[in-house]
Amino acid sequence: MIQQHENSRQYFQNIKGATRNRHVGFYGHIKIITAYLDKILETYHYGMEKFGDFCHNRPKDVITIQEQNMSDVEKQETSETRRDFLYLTAGAMGAVGAATAVWPFVDSMNPAKDTLAVAETEVNIAGVEVGQAITVIWRGKPVFIRHRTPAEIEEARSVDVSTLRDQETDAARVKKPEWLVMVGVCTHLGCVPLGNKSGQPKGEYNGWFCPCHGSHYDESGRIRKGPAPTNLAVPPYEFLSDAVIRIG
């Protein structure tokens, strides 16, 4: 019995050390916890097989008066209650152990500090002339910022929204009519459309063109032709001043 106890204690210490190892992985932690619970139940059943119900194996002089007055049925019910308590205790310990084991996995899914540091990007647009466009990087993605001409604004607003695949008005996509801010990633397969640099093709609708599969976007970044299912996405942004935009 002493050797069995020592083996069990060493086993539980090994389990405790393993659950703290971040390199084990999620499914590895699940296997460890399952093995932990199996060992608890194995130890319990070993004790029951070796010694039986402790209540019936204790010397009579340590059995309480209340137990002496209990019938066999009541003693059996008490034994079952104690057994249920042990199972519940083992389950509770397993739940706590599982939560402890899973937490490193959950915590590893949180954004890294360097990712959080670039969650917002401030852009100075004072030098962007009318008709020009620039590309900035936000969260690893290109963002197109175009200073639209009055003609481009008028053309974008004159489109019949009911004819569009992804129906959005131009006013719903901008905060200031002259400034258009969009994520420069084609909504078909994630390519970067052309048209944000001088000399690049802008497609049939004077906006952006993705040469990979022929998606055409208009002056508001709305899909007009090709396989792309939706318009170019508009990121969260705000004007800190007339010359500075904060994206994110």
Percent of all residues in the chain with a pLDDT value above 90, rounded to a whole number: 51
pLDDT of 178 reads: 97
Beta carbons of 100 and 209 less than 8 angstroms apart: no
pLDDT band of 92, cuts 50, 70, 90? confident
Say if residue 124's pLDDT is above 90: yes
Nearest to 67 by CA among 81, 78, 51, 53: 78
Say if residue 154's pLDDT is above 80: yes
Specify the CATH number for the domain of residue 238: 2.102.10.10
143 and 235 in a common domain: yes
238 and 123 in a common domain: yes
Check residues 40 and 155 and name the one with the higher pLDDT. Answer: 155
Say if residue 129's pLDDT is above 70: yes
167 and 214 in a common domain: yes
Say if residue 7's pLDDT is above 90: no
- Helices marked H in 1-51: 2-19, 26-51
| pLDDT tens-digit map of 203-232 | 999 999 999 999 999 999 999 999 999 999
Structure tokens at 221: 């970044």
Structure tokens at 169: 């008005």
Kindly report the pTM of this predicted structure: 0.55
160 and 74 in a common domain: no
pLDDT of 78 reads: 58
For residue 8, the one-letter residue type is S
| pLDDT tens-digit map of 37-82 | 666 666 665 565 555 555 455 554 544 545 555 555 555 555 566 6
- For the question of residue 213 being annotated catalytic, the response is yes
First to last CA, the chain: 64
121 and 81 in a common domain: no
57 and 174 in a common domain: no
* Structural domain count of the chain: 2
d(Cα 43, Cα 90) in Å, to the nearest integer? 11
d(Cα 133, Cα 69) in Å, to the nearest integer? 92
Over residues 99-122, mean pLDDT: 68
41 and 154 in a common domain: no
Say if residue 116's pLDDT is above 80: no
Positive or negative torsion for Cα 170, 175, 181, 186: negative
Say if residue 2's pLDDT is above 50: no
Whole-number Cα distances in Å, 186 to 3, 33, 239, 247: 67, 45, 25, 19
pLDDT of 47 reads: 60
pLDDT band of 27, cuts 50, 70, 90? low
Domain hosting residue 135, numbered range: 116-247
135 and 68 in a common domain: no
**Which residue is catalytic, options 5, 45, 56, 213?**
213
86 and 6 in a common domain: yes
Say if residue 186's pLDDT is above 80: yes
pLDDT of 159 reads: 96
- Choosing from 56, 75, 107, the residue where a domain stops is 107
